[in-house]
Amino acid sequence: MKKNILLTGGAGYIGSHVTNLLIDKGYSVTVIDSLITGHKSLVNKKAKLVISDINNVKKISNLLKKQKFDIVLHFAGLIRVEESVKNPKKYLNNNFNKSKIFLKTCCENGLKKVIFSSTASVYGNSKIPKVNEKEKVKPANPYAQSKLLFEKYLLKISKTHNLKFVILRYFNVAGADIKLRTGLISKYSTHLIKIACEVAINKRKKLVINGSNYDTVDGTPVRDYIHVSDLADIHLISTKYLLNNGMSQIFNCGYGKGFSVKQVVETMNKILKRELPISIGKRRKGDIGKIVADTRKFKKFFSWKPKFNSLKLIIASALKWEKKLLKINNI
């Protein structure tokens, strides 16, 4: 029997990739998205789209009463670190308060299996080479704090409502669907690889490196990049795990290898066979100097091997997506 998946934020970057994969694998998917930051064009036509905010209790309750769902994948939320520093209350409300209301509504209607889209930013400025899931959490910005608050709420409510969850702590997600069905759309992106791609196709004049005096290999921030399609696969595996009555777990999502901003730019230059125009700017508030995942837990738990573990492939797929957007309507 086909399993019914409820997925919030399915009109967004990661949510749309996961929706496509779930539908490719034969699942029935209902997407909830307010379309405030999401894009209807990214939602798979085989998915049912419910346009709603996640804290609309009446609308969500009616949906859950009309249709039985086996699991919910919760992606909806705001993601810009710099914005969260400037407006922490906005992030507390959107990423924690609204999610709390949504989860309560799910539990009251018998939906008690949850996969939550969290972030590696909950670890803050860790000084160890690779952070594992047992590392002490110390959020470096309000965005990370809002995600951690919901993680803690999930843990609390799981004990009182017999809820099972998988929390996925994303490191830096990048790239685009190899078939170019979906990708990242954002007019105000702070994502390094997207910005580099926009500079490459002349949508931006130059790439600004925010800080060159970090304690890293070349002074620029270091991140662990994971291809969005591999991340979608992690969600598929986690979905199967919970549907088969798996116990609650927390997993890091990355490749376990860090690349600096300059190394990303150098890789882009090799793909383009020319140099991107760059400049050095000031550090941004809330930014982390270096963070790399210890991914042994997920790999061992599921004998998982990534399919797209290549910075060059990640950047090349993102660049192809940006070129497609340029052809469509100059988004």
The model's pTM is: 0.96
Strand, coil or helix: what is 244? coil
pLDDT at 269: 98
Distance CA 257, CA 310 (A): 10
Q: What is the mean pLDDT of each run of 10 residues along the chain (331 residues)?
A: 95 98 98 96 97 97 97 95 92 96 96 96 90 94 96 95 96 97 89 96 94 93 97 98 97 97 98 96 86 97 97 98 86 47
pLDDT at 331: 47
pLDDT at 116: 98
Pick the CATH number of 192-223+256-329 from 3.30.70.270, 3.30.70.2740, 3.90.110.10, 3.90.25.10: 3.90.25.10
Active site residues: 143
Cβ–Cβ under 8 Å, residues 57 and 101: yes
Distance CA 46, CA 253 (A): 27
Segments making up each domain of the chain, as ranges? 4-174+224-253, 192-223+256-329
pLDDT at 330: 55
Tokens of 87: 């407006």
pLDDT at 82: 87
Cβ–Cβ under 8 Å, residues 33 and 11: yes
Tokens of 178: 């190899």
Backbone Cα Rg of the chain: 19
**CA-closest candidate to residue 311, choices 303, 319, 322, 299:** 319
How many Cα atoms are found within 13 Å in the side-chain-facing hemisphere of 324? 16
Tokens of 180: 């170019």
**CA-closest candidate to residue 182, choices 27, 2, 3, 31:** 31
Q: Which residues contact 289 (CB under 8 A, 6 or more apart)?
A: 125, 214, 215, 216, 221, 222
Pick the CATH number of 4-174+224-253 from 3.40.50.720, 3.40.190.10, 3.90.25.10, 3.75.10.10: 3.40.50.720
Which H or E element spans position 113? Answer: strand 113-119
Strand, coil or helix: what is 137? coil
